[in-house]
Amino acid sequence: METLARSVTLEMDLRLEAAAISEMAGNIAEDTDFRVPTVDWTRTAKGVLTLEWIDATPLSDRAALQAKGYDLPRLGRTLMQSFLRHALRDGFFHADLHPGNLFVDADGRLIAVDFGIMGRLGPKERRFLAEILYGFLTRNYRRTAQVHFEAGYVPTRHSVESFAQALRAIGEPIHSRTAADISMARTLTLLFEVTSLFDMQTRPELLLLQKTMVVVEGVARSLDPKLDMWRTSDPVVRDWVERHLGPAGRIEDMVRGAGEIGKALAAVPSLIVRAADLADQFAALSPETLLTAPRPGGDAEARRTRTMIVVLWALVVGLGVVMLWRL
């Protein structure tokens, strides 16, 4: 209820919707098969959203699409891959992709409107989603189970092997069915049902993703009833996994780690100076002063000073240990 209330509140301010459109436009600037309208900021306010005029065919008008010679199966693949790309690559996706919100322009590009409901996935959730889908694609159920534990979604009191067995019960039927019978959305639904047995807490961002995937899959299948969802998603998921979990991704993680260490080291001199100042102040107080001239709060202040010195030096030592470990 709290999530729904917040979502409705955000939807009522059309400036925020305009900002979502602008953010997505920046994310997909180099994409050639999916675009969003341009915002007219001078005519947009809290209660008014003004966009460029869209000259396109509604995706819901199948007869018109066929009459104009559009490749419907290609549009289905584009929709599915674009949604996954936005979720995995950008961590920011349109969460209301029903046919009424989608159009096709003269160049065959999909255009989305109505950005009142948007979904966000952090780095941890994106990795979780990619590895889950990749695990099912490659039938690596143990790795898929481990991802749940690494992400902290399943408590460590449970067994990885038992959870992998449960995931196998979901994944194996996929590989024994035809493309038309395989549903990615249904697979995620079963996944969340199983994870609840292992005490995985409800995560609103993942449920919004699941809900959107159900809609996207339905729209894509309406364009191509034989669309193989798993084969369609494979290039996007595999590219993300290779990019972020392969050698290039590890190098980027090392660079980011080095940057964080650099920031921490930059703060060390000021910490040392501060610790030295506190030590000098504490040393200036004679034992007689501490024992015979107490003042209100004096003992507490002295204890805080000593504690601060210990904490600061512990930080310095800790940073040194981290540096040595990194090297």
The per-residue pLDDT for range 165-217, each reduced to its tens digit, is 988 888 887 776 665 666 777 777 777 777 778 888 777 777 888 889 889 98
Q: Which residue has the higher pLDDT, 129 or 75?
A: 75
- What's the pTM value of the predicted model, to 2 decimals? 0.70
The per-residue pLDDT for range 254-303, each reduced to its tens digit, is 555 555 556 655 665 665 666 566 556 555 555 554 444 445 555 555 56
Domain ranges of the chain: 2-245, 260-326
pLDDT of residue 291: 47
DSSP line for 158-192: S-HHHHHHHHHHHHGGGGGS-GGG--HHHHHHHHH
pLDDT of residue 290: 45
Q: Output DSSP code: residue 239.
A: H
> pLDDT band for position 7 (50/70/90)?
confident
Catalytic residue of the set 31, 96, 181, 277: 96
Sequence-ordered strand ranges (E) for the chain: 34-35, 57-58, 92-94, 102-104, 110-112, 118-120
Give the three-class secondary structure for 124: helix
> pLDDT band for position 250 (50/70/90)?
low
Average pLDDT over residues 122-146: 86
Separation CA 95–CA 114 (nearest Å): 10
pLDDT of residue 125: 87
Cβ neighbors of 281 (< 8 A, separation 6 or more) are: 305
* Residue 192 one-letter amino acid: F
Quick count: other Cβ atoms within 10 Å of Cβ 140? 17
pLDDT of residue 296: 52
96 labelled catalytic = yes
Cβ neighbors of 94 (< 8 A, separation 6 or more) are: 24, 83, 86, 101, 112, 115, 117, 118, 119, 212
